[in-house]
Amino acid sequence: MSRRPEDGDDGGRAPRARFVTLRRWLVAGILVWAPLAVTFWVVNALISFMDKSIVLLPTAYRPEALLGFEVPGMGAFFAIVIVLLTGALVANILGRSLIHAWERLLNRIPLVRSIYSAVKQVVETFVSQDSRSFREVVLVEYPRRKAWSIAFVSGEPIGEVQDRTDEHLVTVFVPTAPNPTSGFVIMVPRSELIELNMTVEEGFRMVVSLGVVVPPRRDTRGRLLEPATPPEPYRGRETIDAPDEGRAEP
């Protein structure tokens, strides 16, 4: 004869089952709203920052003066127009002559000269189509042997750094998590690096997520070897209310 469950067992199991269900709903809701909130915050911060460029317009020609109310994003649009017009200006001989004259003036100011030249070199390195900076994700043994870290190739040292070493060195940037804007710049032999097939965006995503978001596997040509599936919401331990298969009905 089968054993009928006691009333005390059912009374203790039902609240736990409801708690597990509520926790699963809570985690599923966080997985939906947290990425949306962070994305909205970042986009709103960028647009708000670019909207400050509207102060370059005369007060009489600003949107709030012409329309009677502020237009969000108008400053971002105005900033893009300014960048495009500047690019069109410096693309000809006259524009390049003006830029060279402006740079010669800045190079005469001690503090401004150092900051301007450094920022210009960094921007040119990132924007240049021929540059290999931050185009390659590698593994490097850092901060000790047998401990591997995600790194990004930022360039190949030349000049005195390379002249004083026997091996061909590569400069890599090892970002910190979860803030990849800070990190360490180290120079290691190319032979001690392991090249990865993941994209730079996937590498940064892995660093920001503290290794939780693992990029899909790719071949040497960058093609996906397995489909990228979104993570399934955490379900917790739901075995407390699972019926026993061998239990007979009363």
250 residues of the chain, pLDDT tens digit each: 445 555 555 556 777 888 888 888 888 888 888 888 888 888 888 788 877 777 777 877 777 777 777 777 787 788 888 888 888 887 788 878 888 888 888 888 888 888 888 888 777 766 666 566 788 899 999 988 889 999 999 888 778 888 888 888 899 999 998 888 889 999 999 889 999 988 888 999 899 888 888 888 877 776 777 654 555 544 444 444 444 444 444 4
User: Three-state secondary structure along 161-221?
Assistant: HHHCCCCCEEEEEEECCCCCCCEEEEEEEHHHCEECCCCHHHHHHHHHCCCCCCCCCECCC
| Amino acid 130: pLDDT | 59
| Amino acid 129: pLDDT | 60
User: Three-state secondary structure along the chain?
Assistant: CCCCCCHHHHHHHHHHHHHHHHHHHHHHHHHHHHHHHHHHHHHHHHHHHHHHHHHHCCHHHCHHHHHCCCCCCHHHHHHHHHHHHHHHHHCCHHHHHHHHHHHHHHCCCHHHHHHHHHHHHHHHHHHCCCCCCCCCEEEEECCCCCCEEEEEEEECCCCHHHHCCCCCEEEEEEECCCCCCCEEEEEEEHHHCEECCCCHHHHHHHHHCCCCCCCCCECCCCCECCCCCCCCCCCCCCHHHCCCCCCCCC
Q: Are strands 183-189 and 148-155 parallel, antiparallel or unpaired?
A: unpaired
| Amino acid 167: pLDDT | 84
| Amino acid 250: pLDDT | 43
Phi, psi (deg, nearest 5) at residue 197? -90, -5
Alpha carbon distance 144, 148 (integer Å): 8
| Amino acid 4: pLDDT | 54
Alpha carbon distance 195, 156 (integer Å): 15
Residue of 184, 207, 187 lying closest to 196 (CA atoms) = 207
Tokens found for residue 197? 């097939």
Regarding pTM above 0.85, the answer is no
| Amino acid 246: pLDDT | 45
**What are the distances in angstroms from CA 38 to CA 33, 232, 233?**
9, 20, 19
* CB 170 within 8 Å of CB 189: yes
| Amino acid 242: pLDDT | 43
Other C-beta atoms within 10 Å of 202: how many? 19
Residue of 10, 8, 73, 31 lying closest to 241 (CA atoms) = 10
